Structure 1
Amino acid sequence: MIDQHTVDRIIAAADIVEVVKEYVTLRRSGTNYLGLCPFHNEKTPSFSVSQSKGIFKCFGCGKGGNVVNFIMEHERLNYVEALKFLAKKYNIEVEEKEVTPEELQKRNERESLMVINSYAQRYFTDMLHKHSDGKTIAMAYFRERGLKDHIIEKFQLGYCLDQRDAFTQSALRDGYNLDYLVKTGLTIRREDGTIFDRFAGRVMFPIHSISGRVIGFGGRTLKTDKKVAKYLNSPESEVYHKSEILYGIFHAKKAITQENKCFLVEGYTDVISLHQAGIENVVASSGTSLTQDQIKLIKRFTPNVTVLYDGDAAGIKASLRGIDMILEEGLNVKVVLMPEGEDPDSFARTHSASEVLEYIKENETDFIKFKTRLLLDDSKNDPIKQAGLITDIVRSISAIPEQVTRAVYIKECSRLLDIGEEVLYSEVGKIRRKRMEQLLQRERNQPVKEHETPKIPSYVKGIICEEQEREIVKYLLTYGNQVLFTHVDEETEEEITITVAQYIIEEILNDDLEFQNLTYKKLFDEYIRLMEIHSEVDNRHFINHMDPEVSQLAVDLLTEKYVLSRIWEKNNAEVAEAPNFLEDAIPKAIQVYKSKVLKMAINNLNEELQNLKPDQVEETNHILFKLRELYALINNMSKDLDRVVL
C-alpha cells in the first residue's frame, strides 16, 4: 500500500497534458487540448484534456478521468500499479517490499507475465555483459553491426546462452512459476515434460510496450545453419500481440510527435542503427505484415508516414498492400527506396544523420509515383499488364477517405499514365461504391445483439429520484464555492453570504434527506467533511479521489454539458447565465428533488392503504392523515415550481 502523502506527491507532479502527449497528439483549443481518442477509432477529435482541472474526457466514447485513470485505462493497470508507473516517470520514490515467489503466484496472470518478461530482460542483459560467451560471442556480433554501448543499453539488448535450459533453470531457482514461463513463450514444454529455452543461442531484442514495459522478445540466431530460423519472436500471449505493437514505438513516440513524421522500416537493427545515427522517429513492423492496429498506433502521434524500403526491390511488391492500408486510415504516405544493395541499417551505419536525412528528403516520393514507376517496369508495352497496373493504382486511390486528396492523386495519376481524369474518376467511383455495398451487406447480415446495459447495484434499483440527485451533486461540484445569496444580519448589520454548497447542504440536512445512489452519497458526505475543514473545496480532491467511482463521477459531472432539467423545459423557462441563473436553478433543483421524494412516499402509502382490510380503521386513519400532510407539502412545492397538481 502506498501512503497518502506519496500518492499526493505523485498526483501533484504528474502533468496530465505531459503524460497524455506521450500517447496522443494534442493541439491547444482555448484553455483545453484536443486530440484523437486512444480508446476508440475516430477521425474527428473528441478527446479533451484540461490541464487546469487535471482531467481528460472523450465525448465520443465517454471515457474520462484523471491522470491516474488515464494510465490505468491505457496500460490496463490497477490503481496502485498506475501510481507506481507515474512515480517512476517523475522520479518519486515509492517504498515497497520485495515480491516473494508466493506473492508473485497470487498476482493476476497478466502482471505475472510482465514480471517474468522484465526478469528475462535483466537476465539476458547480464549474460551479454557478464558471461564469457556473451562478452565474446554475442557482443562481437553487436560490435560487427557497429552498435555502441549507449545504444545497446538504451534498447536493453542481451544474449540467451546456447545451453538447453539455462534461462529456465535460473528463473525457477529465483522462484518464478513454470506455467507462466511457458505462457510467455520464453520456455517450451514438450508433451513428455521436458523443457528448454526458446531463444537458446540467440542475441535478444526486447520488445517494449508504448509505456516502456517489456512484453516480448525477438531473438536472432548466431548460427549459419540455414535450417535454423534467422529471427524468432515471442508467441502470442496475454501481454504480447504482435499485430498491435511496433518495435521501437516506446523510444520513438516523443520524436515522432516533435518531428510530426514517422519513418517505418522492417527490422530491429534498422530501428537501432537509425537511432544511433540520431534519427529517433522510426519504428518497425518487425518483419510481419503491417496491420491496421499498427497503423492506428502511428496515427495517434502523426498523420505523416514515410516507408523506407531496402534497395532490393524484389520483395517490395508483396508489401504494397501495407501502403493501401495506411491510405485507408487517412495518413499521408511517402516512400523511399534505399540505394541498391543497401537497407536502412547498413546505410545508417555508413552515413551521418544529416546525410541520411538529406537522402530521404531528396528521394522520398508519393506512393502514386513510386507505385507507377515500380509497376511500369513490368508492364512495358504489354496493354493487358498496363490495364492491370491502372486498376492496381486506382484501387489504392480509392482507399483514400478524403475526397480532396483523392482528386489530387487522380490528377497525378492521369499525368503519369497519360489517361483521362474522367476515366479514373469513374473507376474510383465504381470501386468505392462496390466497397460500400459490401460493407452494407455485411452490416445487414450481422446478427442483432441485445442491448447490453451495465449491471445496476441493488441499492439503486427502483429509486425514482436518481436524476435529481445527480443534478444536485453536479451543482454542488460545479458551483459549490460561488456565492448564491447575500443578506444583511439585522442584529449585527454584517453582510452574510451563502454559497451554493452551504445552501444545498443545509436544505438536504434540514429535512434529514439522504441520497440513495451510493456514489452520489459518498461525494456529498465527503464534501460536507471538507467544508468543515476548509472555507472552499477544491474539486481536484474529487477528481483525484482514491475511490475510482467518485473520481469518475467528478470527471463526468465537470465535463458534461449542462442540460436543462425537464421542469424548465415544461414551463418554457428562459435561463439566464450564471450567477443569476443559479439563484433560480439551485432552489428549484432542491424543490424538484424533494417533491420527487414526497411523491415516492405518497405512492408507498397508497399501496399500503389498498392492502388494508375494512376493519382496520385506526391504521386507515393513520395513513390518511399522513397522505393529507404529504399532499399539502407537495402542493406548496408545486406552487413554487409553477405547477398544478391534480
Structure 2
Amino acid sequence: MIDQHTVDKILAAADIVEVVKEYVTLRKRGVNYLGLCPFHNEKTPSFTVSQAKGIFKCFGCGKGGNVVNFIMEHERLNYVEALKFLAKKYHIEIEEKEVTPEEIEKRNERESLMVINSYAQRYFSDMLHKHSDGKTIAMAYFRERGFKDHIIERFQLGYCLDQRDAFTQSALRDGFKLDYLVKTGLTIKRDDGSTFDRFAGRVMFPIHSISGRVIGFGGRILKADKKTAKYLNSPESEVYHKSEVLYGIFHAKKAITQENKCYLVEGYTDVISLHQTGIENVVASSGTSLTQDQIKLIKRFTPNVTILYDGDAAGIKASLRGIDMILEEGLNVKVVLMPEGEDPDSFARSHNASEVLEYINQNETDFIKFKTRLLLDDAKSDPIKRANLITDIVRSISAIPDQVIRAVYIKECAKLMDIGEEVLYSEVGKLRRSRMEQLLQRERTEAVREHETPKIPAFVQGISCEEQEKEIVRFLLNSGNQVLFSQEVEGTNELITITAAQYIIDEILNDDLEFQNLIYKKVFDEYVRLLETNVEVDNRFFINHTDPEISQMAVDLLTEKYVLSRIWEKHKAEVSESPDFLQTAIPKAIMVYKSKVLKLAISKLTDELSKLKPDQVEETNQLLLRLRELYALMNKMSKDLDRVIL
C-alpha cells in the first residue's frame, strides 16, 4: 500500500502534459493540447489534454482519465504500478506497506480533518453573514478593503467570533471529536483540559487545495494589538502542508493556463483584490519563502512567472536567493516593482484591470536584470562589493538549465557590469560543473539505495564469517572495476555508473560492519582508501603489495578456481564476470554474508538470554526486543534469497 500523502504528492507533481508529451506529439490549441490518439489509429487528431483540469480525452475511441489512468493504459500497468512509475519520474520516494488497522484509522482521520475544515468554513461564513458581530465588525473590514459580495462568496471568506471557544463548542454540539478539532489546529487545548479557538476575533481566509477542498485557514486580527500576530495560519497537519500550497491556486489554475502566465504575490488580499479587478491568474506564497514544491505547482500550468513586489527594497533583497530556485526549475521569471507606497492589493483597488496590466507590461523586467540593477546601487564603486555582486549574479545565471537563455543573460550581465563575457562563461561553467557533480553524487547514492540489502542493526558487531568475507573480497579483486548498475540522470546526458567495488564498500560501511579476518580486512580497507583518492584500482596493486600476506592472498584468490556457494548451486548458476551475473551474484553474496552475521548474532543473543536470572527483567526484555528485530530481518532476507532467479 502507498500512503495517501505520498499519492497526493505524486498527483501534485505529475504534469499531465509533460507526461503525455513523452508518448504523443501535442500542439497547443486554445487552453488545451491536441494530438493523435496513442490508443487507436487515426489521421485526424481527436486526443485532447487539459493541463488545467489534469485530464485527457480521446473523442475518437472514448478513452479518458487522469495522468495515472494514462500511464495505466499506455504502459499496461495496474494503479499501484502506475503510481510507482510516476513517482520514479518525479523523484518521489515510495515506502510500501501492508495496510494495517492503524493506517486505515489514519486514512479515516485524514478524511475527518477534511470534513471538519469544510464544516469550519461554512460556520465562519455563517458568522460573517448572519451574526451581528460578523455583519458589523468583520464585514466592515472587508468593505474597507473594497471586497464585493461575489468575491467574498468565491473565496468563502468568514469570521471567527471574538469569544473564547464559540466555534469549538458549536463543533462539539454538532458531533465532531475534540481530538480532531485539535489536530486541525482550529482548537487549542490547554494542559488543564480547557479549550479555546485559535482564530477567535479574526476574519478568515480559507486555504484550498488544488482540487478545491479546504485544507487550512489564514486569519487576520482586527484589533490593534502589537503583541498579537497580525496574520495567523493553521499549523501543519495531515491535510495541510504549508510548503506545498499556494493560496488561490484552485481559483487561478484555469486563468493561468489560458494566459500562459502566473502572477506571484505575497498575501491573501493581494490575490483577492487582483481577482476582483479581473486579473485571475494570480497566486500567493502567503508570506513564506518560496519552496520547490510551490514552484513545481506553478510549472504544471505555465513556464512563465511574474513576481509583483511592493516598494520594500529590504524585503525584496531578502527573498532574491530563494527565487533562484524558480530559475533552476527552468521557468521564465520577470519582476515588477509596484509604485512607491503601493502593493498589489492597493494598486488593484485604485485601478481597473487594463490599467494594472498596462503598468505590469511596461515595467516588468527579467529577473537577472532586475537583480543586477537592485544590487548595483549598493556596490557602487566598491570593488569588493562589486565582485560579490558579480558572483551572486553568476550563481543565478548558472541555475538556468537552458543553454541559450544562459548565453543571453551572460551577454546582458556583461554589459551591465562592464566585464568580459569569457570571464562570466568561465565562472558559470565552474558552478554548473560543481552542481552537476553534486547531482551525480546524489543520484549515485540513490541508485545504490535502490539495490541495497536490509540494514543490520548497530548492536550487531564483531561477528566472524570468514567464508563469506572471502567471497566478497574475491568479487572485489576480480570484478571491482566492473560496472554493476547504470542509469541516465533524467533531463541530462549524464550516465550514473556504480561499480562492483562501490556497491560492496557502500553496503559494508553503511552497516558499520567489519571483516574479522585480518588479511581480508586489510584488503578491504586498502580498497576503500584507494577509491577515496579517485584511483582506479588495478589487481597488480594487490599482487605486488609490500605486505607479503596481502600479496599472497591476492594471488591465491585471483588464480584459485572459483567454487560456487550453496546458494548458487541451488539455482544451477554458472560462474561468469558478465554484468548480468554480477548484478545478481554480488548483492546476493552481500545478503548471504549479512544473513550469516544475523544467524550468529541470534545464536549469541539466545545464549546470553539463557544465562540471565529470572529477576533480570529489564535485561531479558532488551534481549528479546533485539532478537525480535533480528528474526524479522532474517525472515526478510530468507524470502529475498529464495527469490533469486539466474
- TM above 0.5, yes or no, is yes
Contact 2:264-2:307 within 8 A present in 1 as well: yes
Alpha carbons of structure 1 residues 25 and 182: separation in structure 2 relative to 1, 3 Å: farther
Tell me which residue corresponds to 1:388: 388
Tell me which residue corresponds to 1:50: 58
Question: What's the secondary structure of 1:162's corresponding residue?
Answer: coil
* CA distance in 2: counterparts of 1:37 and 1:361, whole angstroms: 24
Tell me which residue corresponds to 1:368: 368
* CA distance in 1: counterparts of 2:156 and 2:118, whole angstroms: 11
Contact 2:52-2:301 within 8 A present in 1 as well: no
Which moved further from structure 2: 113-122 or 322-331?
322-331
Tell me which residue corresponds to 2:321: 321
Alpha carbons of structure 1 residues 59 and 213: separation in structure 2 relative to 1, 3 Å: closer
- How far off its partner does 1:192 sit? 2.1
Tell me which residue corresponds to 1:227: 227
Contact 1:25-1:301 within 8 A present in 2 as well: no
Query: Which among 28, 33, 37 is matched to residue 27 of structure 1?
Result: 33
Question: What's the secondary structure of 1:119's corresponding residue?
Answer: helix
Question: What's the secondary structure of 2:206's corresponding residue?
Answer: strand
- Tell me the alpha carbon deviations over residues 486-539 of structure 1, each in whole angstroms, 9 at most, x when there is no partner: xxxxxxxxxxxxxxxxxxxxxxxxxxxxxxxxxxxxxxxxxxxxxxxxxxxxxx
Letter in 2 for 1:212: G
- How far off its partner does 1:368 sit? 1.6
Contact 2:160-2:200 within 8 A present in 1 as well: yes
Letter in 1 for 2:199: F
* CA distance in 2: counterparts of 1:391 and 1:111, whole angstroms: 49
Contact 2:307-2:335 within 8 A present in 1 as well: yes
* CA distance in 2: counterparts of 1:366 and 1:436, whole angstroms: 25
Q: How does 1:400-549 map to 2 (within 5 A)?
A: 400-446=400-446, 448-449=448-449
Contact 2:52-2:253 within 8 A present in 1 as well: no
Tell me which residue corresponds to 1:565: none
Tell me which residue corresponds to 2:337: 337
Alpha carbons of structure 1 residues 60 and 389: separation in structure 2 relative to 1, 3 Å: farther
Contact 2:324-2:396 within 8 A present in 1 as well: yes
Structure 1: 5+ residue stretches without partners: 1-15, 40-46, 75-104, 454-646
Tell me which residue corresponds to 1:189: 189
Which moved further from structure 2: 136-145 or 437-446?
437-446
* CA distance in 2: counterparts of 1:25 and 1:292, whole angstroms: 25
- Tell me the alpha carbon deviations over residues 432-452 of structure 1, each in whole angstroms, 9 at most, x when there is no partner: 111112222334445833559
- Tell me the alpha carbon deviations over residues 534-573 of structure 1, each in whole angstroms, 9 at most, x when there is no partner: xxxxxxxxxxxxxxxxxxxxxxxxxxxxxxxxxxxxxxxx
Alpha carbons of structure 1 residues 106 and 253: separation in structure 2 relative to 1, 3 Å: closer
- Tell me the alpha carbon deviations over residues 345-369 of structure 1, each in whole angstroms, 9 at most, x when there is no partner: 0000111111100000000000121
- Tell me the alpha carbon deviations over residues 294-337 of structure 1, each in whole angstroms, 9 at most, x when there is no partner: 11111111110000001221210111123211111101100000
Alpha carbons of structure 1 residues 229 and 28: separation in structure 2 relative to 1, 3 Å: same
Alpha carbons of structure 1 residues 393 and 223: separation in structure 2 relative to 1, 3 Å: same
Percent identical among aligned pairs is: 81
Letter in 1 for 2:420: G
Contact 2:347-2:356 within 8 A present in 1 as well: yes
Tell me which residue corresponds to 2:377: 377
Tell me which residue corresponds to 1:202: 202
* CA distance in 1: counterparts of 2:380 and 2:106, whole angstroms: 66
Tell me which residue corresponds to 1:131: 131
Contact 2:202-2:219 within 8 A present in 1 as well: yes
Alpha carbons of structure 1 residues 234 and 135: separation in structure 2 relative to 1, 3 Å: same
Tell me which residue corresponds to 1:269: 269
Contact 1:49-1:57 within 8 A present in 2 as well: no
Alpha carbons of structure 1 residues 404 and 56: separation in structure 2 relative to 1, 3 Å: farther
Letter in 2 for 1:347: F
Contact 1:157-1:205 within 8 A present in 2 as well: yes
Contact 2:219-2:232 within 8 A present in 1 as well: yes
Tell me which residue corresponds to 1:160: 160
Alpha carbons of structure 1 residues 445 and 178: separation in structure 2 relative to 1, 3 Å: same
Tell me which residue corresponds to 1:281: 281
Question: What's the secondary structure of 2:211's corresponding residue?
Answer: coil
Question: What's the secondary structure of 2:247's corresponding residue?
Answer: coil
- How far off its partner does 1:245 sit? 1.1
* CA distance in 1: counterparts of 2:342 and 2:223, whole angstroms: 23
* CA distance in 2: counterparts of 1:447 and 1:191, whole angstroms: 47
* CA distance in 1: counterparts of 2:106 and 2:284, whole angstroms: 35
Question: What's the secondary structure of 1:218's corresponding residue?
Answer: strand
Letter in 2 for 1:417: M
- How far off its partner does 1:64 sit? 5.1
Letter in 2 for 1:331: L
* CA distance in 2: counterparts of 1:269 and 1:115, whole angstroms: 26
Alpha carbons of structure 1 residues 234 and 362: separation in structure 2 relative to 1, 3 Å: same
* CA distance in 1: counterparts of 2:73 and 2:31, whole angstroms: 17
* CA distance in 2: counterparts of 1:355 and 1:321, whole angstroms: 31
* CA distance in 1: counterparts of 2:337 and 2:176, whole angstroms: 46
Contact 2:267-2:287 within 8 A present in 1 as well: yes
- How far off its partner does 1:249 sit? 0.5
Q: CA RMSD in A?
A: 3.2
Alpha carbons of structure 1 residues 394 and 239: separation in structure 2 relative to 1, 3 Å: same
Alpha carbons of structure 1 residues 60 and 291: separation in structure 2 relative to 1, 3 Å: farther
Structure 2: 5+ residue stretches without partners: 1-15, 21-25, 37-44, 84-104, 454-646
Contact 1:57-1:64 within 8 A present in 2 as well: no
- Tell me the alpha carbon deviations over residues 362-394 of structure 1, each in whole angstroms, 9 at most, x when there is no partner: 000001210011001100110100111111011
Question: What's the secondary structure of 1:387's corresponding residue?
Answer: helix
* CA distance in 2: counterparts of 1:327 and 1:63, whole angstroms: 32
* CA distance in 1: counterparts of 2:106 and 2:406, whole angstroms: 55
Contact 2:305-2:334 within 8 A present in 1 as well: yes
Which moved further from structure 2: 298-307 or 51-60?
51-60
* CA distance in 2: counterparts of 1:220 and 1:132, whole angstroms: 19
Alpha carbons of structure 1 residues 274 and 38: separation in structure 2 relative to 1, 3 Å: closer
- How far off its partner does 1:270 sit? 0.1
Alpha carbons of structure 1 residues 365 and 275: separation in structure 2 relative to 1, 3 Å: same
Contact 1:57-1:63 within 8 A present in 2 as well: no
* CA distance in 1: counterparts of 2:175 and 2:452, whole angstroms: 43
* CA distance in 1: counterparts of 2:322 and 2:254, whole angstroms: 24
Counterpart check, 1:397 vs 2:405: no
* CA distance in 2: counterparts of 1:189 and 1:363, whole angstroms: 49
Tell me which residue corresponds to 1:349: 349
Contact 2:265-2:271 within 8 A present in 1 as well: yes
Alpha carbons of structure 1 residues 63 and 380: separation in structure 2 relative to 1, 3 Å: farther
Alpha carbons of structure 1 residues 278 and 450: separation in structure 2 relative to 1, 3 Å: closer
Letter in 2 for 1:384: I
- Tell me the alpha carbon deviations over residues 45-93 of structure 1, each in whole angstroms, 9 at most, x when there is no partner: xx97534433358699945599xx99xx99xxxxxxxxxxxxxxxxxxx
* CA distance in 2: counterparts of 1:416 and 1:106, whole angstroms: 56
Question: What's the secondary structure of 2:424's corresponding residue?
Answer: helix
* CA distance in 2: counterparts of 1:396 and 1:348, whole angstroms: 31
* CA distance in 2: counterparts of 1:268 and 1:359, whole angstroms: 21
TM-score norm. by structure 2 comes to: 0.57
How many residues align structurally?
394
**Which one has a bigger Cα radius of gyration?**
1
TM-score norm. by structure 1 comes to: 0.57
Q: How does 1:619-634 map to 2 (within 5 A)?
A: none
Alpha carbons of structure 1 residues 312 and 37: separation in structure 2 relative to 1, 3 Å: closer
